A and B are shown apart, each in its own frame.
Chain A
Amino acid sequence: MLDRFNSNSSKPNAVRILAIVFFATALLFALIGTVMGDSFYIRLATEALIFGGLALSVDLLLGHVGLLPLGQALFFGLGAYVSAVVLKEWAASFWLAIIVSMLFCAFAGLIGGLIAIRSKGVYFALISFGLAQVFSRVIYNTRELGASDGMTGVPVVTVVPGLQTDNPLGFFFVTWLVIGGLYLVLRYVMQTPMGRLFGAIRVNEHRVCFLGFGALRFKITAFVAAAVVAGLSGALYPMLRGFVSPELMFFQVSGNAVVNVIIGGSGTLIGALYGAGLLTVLKSILGSFTVHHHIVIGLLFVVVVIAFPRGIVGYLVPVLEARLSKKKTGDNS
């Protein structure tokens, strides 16, 4: 929905500024929480970042390749479950849990991709939705994985010597680094030939084959990458909350991720993070007034789709751009 490929304009600078603002604000938020001595808000911010990672995976598919995934929570939940199982049954090692989750989700993404990727539009959305439904139901009925109650008792682990996962600020920082790293990696990938082809597929998939590149291969790669991003984010969840449950794969989670991306601004990557952050804040504020915050967010989503389809970041970037160019020409005169 945006043309981000103009290397001559000041657009990359505008996006860079917004990204810096986001990560700085997040850090500030956590620091304030520490000063106030309340770990609830730090944990909330950590959770927002974790779900931001899921939103990034949705944006990779929706905003860049042009596929609407309604079941991305599948990989998020898979990452969470694998992480929990590794920590509980195998070894209480942060790095092992992360790596095994990523590998598992890469493999699952490959299988899921081979099934889903020949489809487009609503067919893809439904297959994605259906995959999540089916697997969440499987896990829901698997006693070894805790069935409907999920698994509790995920142990505290050491990330690096001196930093354990039960340290709210410390784990926030770890998550901040992981999600920040994911963001930077994805940003970089979008500037590579492969990333540009993702965007080309979204704009005109038909022509891509005539440029000599089989679109299918790239779509599967994107699907696997998105699965890994979602899985990595999910792997952090049991470390934060100490448990996993089948609800992590439910449609609510997938749907929320899509809402985050659209409201934040699809196709911008940082928009997904803004969406997750802002909506977490909004839910928290609304939640203190009413139990029914979901419908407010649903209405907001509908309004955004109709009136502001480019999302918050989508509208901020041109404004910032204009401001920046004015400054440039102002400095020259």
Chain B
Amino acid sequence: MTSILEWLQFVLAPQSINGLSIGVAVVLMALGLTIIFGLLDVINMAHGECYALGAYAVVVILGMGVSFWWAFLLTPLLMAAMGYAMERGLIQQVFHSKDRHTLTLLLTFGMATVMEDAIKIVFGANPRSVEAPISGATELFGLFFPNYRLFVMLLGGAIIVAVWLLVFRTSIGAIVRAAAHDKDMSASLGIPVSRVYSLTFAFGVALAGIAGVLLAPIYSVFPTMGRDFVLMAFSVVIIGGMGSIKGAVLAGLVLTQIQSLSSLLISPVWNDTLLFGIMVVVLMWRPQGLFGKLGHA
């Protein structure tokens, strides 16, 4: 009896809590993706690179001798500005064409390539490590948890709640949801739909950037980190349902739990395969995801 409890306490719980800290960041990324898709009907294939840029922003900021805390504030702003420019300058160019679904996929795919190469040029291909702003560990339930991980969970959780409140409880959120629901109607009500698009894209990209900042001290920072992570983010969005915030949160938390707990049973090499397998099964059984609606993508 005691050995099961011990297993729960010393093996399962730490894995689960680790998974939770990753999960929070995954949810933030997935939220960004799903919000962009929900409003603009655009799949941002460059989302992983936006996450990577967030992590590299931390590298830059720390390199300038500035404290990590500034990164939390500056990175989202920088990413938002970049996202706004990307939407205005690039995505809008193909937005109104007939083939727009394929073209936006290709365009964001191209943007991803360019961004990844740019990162390689500026920062080199070698991984960087970033020190966590909070060190030490706290004892909880007889175990020691790194303080930074606990912080990630708290801050990340707070941001998720804030996003939810923003989307569902503010007038800005109402405007965005209205524009997502019916663009022409919203435009005729005086809503600057084009600007709403750009701001929403910026917001989604900023969320990916924050995820990058949060996870930078946990994973090392390297140029292809975006691509490795984006399959996870897309799986979450697809399983949760494209455009569904509830889906992104639930699927993100559940899938990261599955990922961290499964590493107890199977070698981490097969992690991706497991998640991919789950995504394929969900797509075949319920193509709109758990909470999504058919008729997208």
Contact = CB atoms under 8 A, between A and B. Distances in A.
Touch test A–B (CB under 8 Å): yes
Interface of A: 1, 62, 66, 68, 70, 115, 118-123, 125-127, 129-131, 133-134, 137-138, 141, 251, 255, 258-259, 262, 292, 294-295, 298-299, 301-302, 305-307, 309
Given A123-B238, A306-B93, A68 B102 contact: yes
Contacts of B157: none
Contact of B107 (A115, A121, A130, A305): A305
Residue of B107, B109, B272, B287 ringed by the most chain A CB atoms within 10 A: B109
Nearest to A291: B121
Contact of A121 (B111, B227, B297): B297
B146 interface: no
Chain B interface SS verdict (over half) = helix
B49 to A, nearest CB: 11
B231 A130 contact: yes
| A-B complex: 6 closest residue pairs judged by Cβ atoms | A295-B117, A298-B114, A298-B113, A302-B110, A121-B297, A130-B276
A267 to B, nearest CB: 11
Contact of A130 (B93, B97, B106, B279): B279
A307 B103 CA distance: 11
A41 B90 CA distance: 37
B280 interface: yes
A137 B117 contact: no
Nearest to A290: B121
B264 to A, nearest CB: 19
B105 A134 contact: no
Nearest to A294: B117
B177 interface: no
Given A123-B287, A262-B106, A133 B272 contact: yes
Interface string B103-146: 10111011101100110110000000000000000000000000
A299 B102 CA distance: 18
Most buried by A among B90, B227, B280: B280
Contacts of B94: 305-306, 309
Given A134-B273, A255-B109, A258-B109, A126 B117 contact: no
Interface string B141-176: 000000000000000000000000000000000000
A127 B283 contact: yes
Given A137-B269, A294-B117, A126 B107 contact: no
B101 to A, nearest CB: 6
B99 interface: yes
A118 B43 CA distance: 19
Contacts of B235: 126
Given A302-B90, A305-B106, A306-B90, A126 B113 contact: no
B262 to A, nearest CB: 15
Contacts of B106: 68, 258, 262, 305
Contacts of A120: 297
Given A133-B231, A305-B94, A305-B103, A119 B110 contact: no
A295 B272 contact: no
Given A122-B234, A258-B106, 18 more contacts: A66-B102, A120-B297, A123-B283, A125-B105, A127-B279, A127-B280, A137-B272, A292-B117, A294-B117, A295-B117, A298-B110, A298-B114, A301-B113, A302-B90, A302-B110, A302-B111, A302-B114, A305-B94
The interface centre, meaning the residue of A70, A251, A298, A307 with most chain B CB atoms within 10 A of its CB, is A298
12 contacts: A66-B102, A123-B297, A126-B238, A127-B279, A127-B283, A130-B231, A130-B280, A131-B276, A133-B231, A255-B109, A294-B113, A305-B107
B284 interface: yes
A301 B280 contact: no
Contacts of B121: 292, 295
A70 B109 contact: yes
A133 B110 contact: no
Given A305-B94, A306-B90, A134 B109 contact: no
A119 B117 contact: no
Nearest to A301: B110
A309 B273 CA distance: 34
B284 A118 contact: yes
Contacts of B101: 121
B273 A68 contact: no
A123 B231 CA distance: 11
Interface string B205-247: 0000000000000000000000100010011001000000000
A306 B276 CA distance: 31
Nearest to A297: B113
Nearest to B97: A309
Nearest to A126: B234
Given A123-B238, A127-B280, A130-B276, A68 B114 contact: no
Interface string B261-284: 000000001001100100110011
A121 B105 contact: yes
Contacts of A68: 102, 105-106
A46 B227 CA distance: 30
A305 B90 CA distance: 10
B294 to A, nearest CB: 11
B18 to A, nearest CB: 22
Contacts of A129: 231
B269 to A, nearest CB: 5
